[in-house]
């Protein structure tokens, strides 16, 4: 996200960073010429200097820091998953409404050109009547990563399952009514606190069905396929940000490939969110969008524990203009990391 500010200068400026590590604060501030660098103890002081915050903390900390920002009158762009529980999501939404600040969940693929093109294909009817969606998303997570810790809100569904859930919901343009799941642990000690692998099924009220598998102990894979009565769309890679995305469209036996070179997926989020603040627009993806995905994640984990399907309460997604989300910026080089390792072992 930090390098993306170079492509968002039209309306966004990085004013301050917050980190619990003194070396990281110093090095990042120097590299990106950031005037202010705060520890978490000084978060409230930071809030007095900025218009908005981007929250990329462990999942278990999203709610607290978003609510504190809202109460200070600061707008919030929060990483997905929005929070760990539905109750936390509702508290975040309520705090934002009370303070009259914007709250947006950072689903970067809502701004990605190939992803938006795939949604257009599904909605135009090019595939005929949509029938089913399936996806595989996996990685070999590094030992000790926060994604493996229950206290941090870790787990495959929270970290990568939300991509599959959100993709199915947006491609079908519908909401699941019932979900079921099974989780498997093979005995890997570093993954004992969370689900190592989860297989999920989502049934939609219009008889669409979505299935997906997430894993923290398998090769790096991130793809989905949506199938209709006339054809299919196979997106691979589907969720990546370090390379260009693409899909193969097959209709009546004829296939075409669409692929776009690597793009900056983070700058469009910044540009769009800042425009929402400046022009007083309601952002999308909204807090309600984030809440729905967390509701589904929690229901899937409940199904995994009980061995029974779980009903999902009706949800009406707010219909807001999405044309303003079609923002493209060129790709950027992956920055060298400062006192941190990537999540994946591969």
For position 320, what pLDDT does the model report?
Answer: 55
C-alpha pair distances (Å), 103 with each of 47, 76, 220, 256, 289: 15, 5, 32, 38, 11
DSSP state of 113: H
| Residues 127, 48: Cα–Cα separation, whole Å | 51
Question: Within a 13 Å sphere around the CA of 148, how many CA atoms are in the beta-carbon half?
Answer: 18
Distance CA 274, CA 325 (A): 12
Q: What is the predicted pLDDT for the residue at 42?
A: 97
Give DSSP secondary structure letters for 81-93.
S--SSHHHHHHHH
Per-residue CA distances from 286 to 156, 182, 325 (Å): 23, 29, 13
Q: What is the pLDDT of residues 116-166, one digit of tens each?
A: 999 999 999 999 999 999 999 999 999 999 999 999 999 999 999 999 999
The residues pairing with 231 across neighbouring beta strands, listed in sequence order, are 251
Residue 336: its pLDDT value, please?
79
Prediction pTM value: 0.94
The pLDDT value recorded for residue 328 is 79
Lowest mean pLDDT among 54-58, 196-200, 263-267: 263-267
Mean pLDDT value across residues 245-264:
92
Instruction: Give me the long-range contacts of 303-310 (CB less than 8 A, separation at least 24).
Output: 303/179, 303/180, 303/181, 304/181, 304/182, 304/183, 304/195, 304/198, 307/182, 308/180, 309/178, 309/179, 309/180, 310/178, 310/179, 310/180
pLDDT tens readout for residues 64-108:
999 999 999 999 999 999 999 999 999 999 999 999 999 999 999
Q: How confident is the model at residue 346 (pLDDT cuts 50, 70, 90)?
A: low
**What pLDDT, in 10s, does the model give residues 184-235?**
999 999 999 999 999 999 999 878 999 999 999 999 999 999 999 999 999 9
- Predicted confidence at residue 206, as pLDDT, reads 78
pLDDT at residue 93, as a whole number: 98
Q: How far is CA 125 from the centre of its chain?
A: 26
Distance, CA of 81 to CA of 310 (rounded, Å):
20
pLDDT, tens only, 297-335: 999 999 999 999 999 999 887 665 555 777 777 777 777
What integer pLDDT is reported at residue 262 of this predicted model?
A: 83
Beta strands in 49-129 (DSSP E): 52-55, 75-78, 103-105
Is the per-residue pLDDT at 337 higher than 60? yes
pLDDT at 20 over 80: yes
* 132, two tokens: 């089913």
When pLDDT is cut at 50, 70 and 90, the band that residue 32 belongs to is very high
């Amino acid at each position: 996200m930090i390098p993306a500010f170079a492509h968002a200068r039209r309306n966004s400026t990085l004013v301050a960073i917050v980190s619990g590590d003194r070396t990281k604060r110093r090095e990042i501030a120097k590299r990106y010429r950031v005037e202010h660098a705060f520890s978490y103890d000084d978060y409230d002081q930071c809030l007095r200097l900025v218009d908005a915050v981007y929250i990329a903390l462990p999942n278990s900390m999203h709610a607290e820091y978003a609510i504190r920002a809202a109460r200070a009158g600061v707008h919030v762009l929060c990483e997905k998953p929005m929070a760990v529980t539905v109750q936390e999501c509702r508290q975040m939404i309520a705090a934002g409404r009370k303070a009259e600040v914007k709250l947006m969940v950072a689903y970067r693929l809502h701004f990605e050109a190939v992803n938006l093109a795939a949604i257009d294909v599904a909605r135009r009817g090019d595939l005929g009547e949509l029938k089913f969606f399936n996806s595989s998303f996996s990685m070999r997570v590094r030992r000790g990563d926060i994604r493996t810790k229950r206290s941090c809100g870790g787990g495959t569904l929270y970290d990568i399952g939300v991509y599959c859930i959100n993709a199915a919901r947006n491609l079908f343009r519908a909401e699941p009514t019932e979900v079921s799941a099974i989780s498997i642990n093979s005995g890997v000690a570093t993954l004992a606190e969370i689900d190592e692998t989860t297989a999920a099924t989502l049934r939609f009220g219009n008889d669409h069905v979505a299935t997906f598998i997430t894993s923290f102990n398998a090769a790096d894979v991130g793809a989905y396929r949506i199938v209709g009565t006339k054809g299919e769309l196979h997106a691979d890679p589907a969720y990546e940000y370090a390379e260009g995305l693409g899909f193969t469209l097959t209709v009546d036996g004829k296939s075409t490939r669409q692929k776009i070179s690597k793009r900056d997926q983070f700058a469009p989020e910044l540009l769009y969110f800042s425009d929402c603040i400046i022009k007083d627009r309601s952002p999308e993806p909204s807090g309600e969008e984030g809440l729905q995905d967390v509701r589904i994640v929690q229901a899937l984990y409940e199904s995994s524990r009980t061995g029974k399907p779980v009903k999902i309460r009706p949800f009406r997604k707010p219909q807001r203009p999405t044309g303003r989300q079609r923002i493209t910026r060129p790709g950027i080089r992956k920055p060298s990391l400062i006192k941190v390792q990537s999540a994946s072992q591969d």
